[in-house]
Structure 1
């Protein structure tokens, strides 16, 4: 029965050698951002195969103040995956079958949609297939979710031109973000949320600012702390100077990146307010803009006490990745 269901549901569109039919209208996909529908038998979900799915697809996001999953997982048995339930934007099907493989198909039942299928003959083979395919599936789902978030921004864009005037850049910035502070080489935009704020800052550095890979982490922390002390003050505390710095107990995560068609460094970590008990996650892009002999810095950070912050940081990432240079 399990094999028959898989054959009817996904094997034909995913593995058929027949010519593709003409493109047909697909309904708009459904689901919250960063949510994955996991279609698999209850027995598999409750055993080691389900554990392996959770290990990868619900792994904690780097650089947050507490553990939050990369994707929210919503399990459903195959019998439920029908009708509008098939319109979920991100779907993972895991099941036993005589044919083994892992593939990702686009827009099978709705658009945009990623439908990933992992098949194998046994539990142990499924574990191995998930181990091999998970990173690629997650990357494709996250890229789709990023595009979806950026499309939603188009519903109401800010008309502010300050970033273009100061730095020669533009962002697909929702209109709820307002300029809160500007200096000669610094712009701070933010939006209010239920328990705090989401923030984006921009500034530039000389093109020779980072001279050694061996001291890159220390140089980035020094840069952030210097800018924070100059432009991002904390609450007034008698007899103390408060400002945004980098959490000293946790070294930030650093990755190579490309943003706006230029090479960059991505930095994820925790900010803190020096001399005051406040903290939260930040995401920084240090972009090597060789044409202007500068490093352009974009940073998003969230202040939201006792609140999950993954989706806030995802929105900030999506905004910053729309950067265009003029």
Structure 2
């Protein structure tokens, strides 16, 4: 009996000790979307290393009518890498040290978080490390910021029933969006903002409209979206349909959404014979299983606002799409 009691007490103490040693849950990161904290001393920041960081991480976002930086950069000296500074989702730490090194630490101070440590013996060494690793850093930051926006969106989403029944897809859309127009193969949702709005279009067309080998791909996509604008989206006056802006060619990429081949197009839209215009992002998903091209497009009208983060939210919404099995 005494041996059993002693064993029970020993197990209880051991479990208690283990619980005490458990690491606490990491605190949540904070900060605005698409913002980077760069921890670097002023001497380096005000020289060619700072110039390199600004050129690589704050270049103009493609597809916007006015220049806006890819990321907003906040610089701080290395001596204040503490407190609220460590709550940022993205931190780039740059130092001169005895060894050349590049390291990525996930959730070092908070979660979700990427901390990129760059160190070099000379300025030339640091510049070379930045040059070599910038594509990887940008890819990781972009992915994290999309996930963060999707996390925010999930806190209050629109009832998915109408979209699910019409298009057999799942997609997370903020409850702040309202239905503007329903057609058999077309839906338009809009969110009103101060001095403007953001919109989401969901529609489908026969697969051969996009995959017709007798026509060039980009002109074909432009023709498709212009025909949709002519049918459903116009200004208050006659002959003011929404069309693709002709001031410069849209940007085009081949990507994957929900594991499916997808064409991504970014550019500007205008209303014919009107003054309204803005940026758009268009995704054409080749859904061979359902013999259709599923199109998801976001566009904004916000003449007095910066549009980078408005378009980023639309991109995050669209990239949450899942094509449901029949």
Q: Tell me whether the two structures share a fold, i.e. TM-score over 0.5.
A: yes
Q: Secondary structure at the match of 1:234?
A: coil
> Secondary structure in 2 aligned to 1:301?
strand
CA contact (8 A) 2:102 2:119 kept: yes
Change (3 A) 1:94 1:268: same
Distance of 1:42 and 1:227 partners within structure 2: 52
Alignment partners' CA distance in 1, 2:214 and 2:323: 26
Report deviation, 1:24. 4.5
Separation (CA, whole Å) in 2 of partners of 1:88 and 1:227: 41
Cα displacement string for residues 101-150 of structure 1 (whole angstroms, at most 9, x for unaligned residues): 22211000111111011111111121111111111111101111111111
Deviations 1:36-62 (A, max 9, x none): 000001011011100000001111111
Structure 1 residues 121 and 214: alpha-carbon distance in aligned structure 2, compared to 1, 3 A threshold: farther
Max Rg structure = 2
Q: Tell me the C-alpha RMSD between the 2 structures.
A: 1.5
Indicate whether 1:309 and 2:310 are aligned: no
Indicate the residue corresponding to 2:10 in structure 1.
Answer: none
The aligned counterpart of 1:14 is: none
Question: What CA distance in whole angstroms lies between the structure 2 residues aligned with 1:310 and 1:22?
Answer: 41
Deviations, residues 190-237 of structure 1 (Å, cap 9, x unaligned) = 11011111100011111111223971111111111111001111221x
> What is the DSSP-based 3-state SS (H/G/I as helix, E as strand, rest coil) of the residue aligned with 2:275?
strand
Report the CA distance between 1:22 and its aligned residue: 7.2
User: Aligned residue for 1:231?
Assistant: 232
Shift of 1:245: 0.2
Gaps of 5+ in 1: 1-20
Aligned: 1:198 with 2:187: no
- Report SS of the residue matched to 2:124: helix
TM (normalized to structure 2)?
0.90
8 Å Cα contact 2:160/2:171 also seen in 1: no
Normalising to structure 1: TM-score of the pair?
0.90
| 2: CA distance, partners of 1:194 / 1:202 | 24
The unaligned stretches of length 5 or more in structure 2 are 1-20
CA separation in 1, counterparts of 2:292 and 2:69? 36
Alignment of 1:170-189 (within 5 A): 170-189=170-189
1:271 match: secondary structure: strand
1:280 aligned residue? 278
**Equivalent residue in structure 1 for 2:320, among 300, 319, 322:** 322
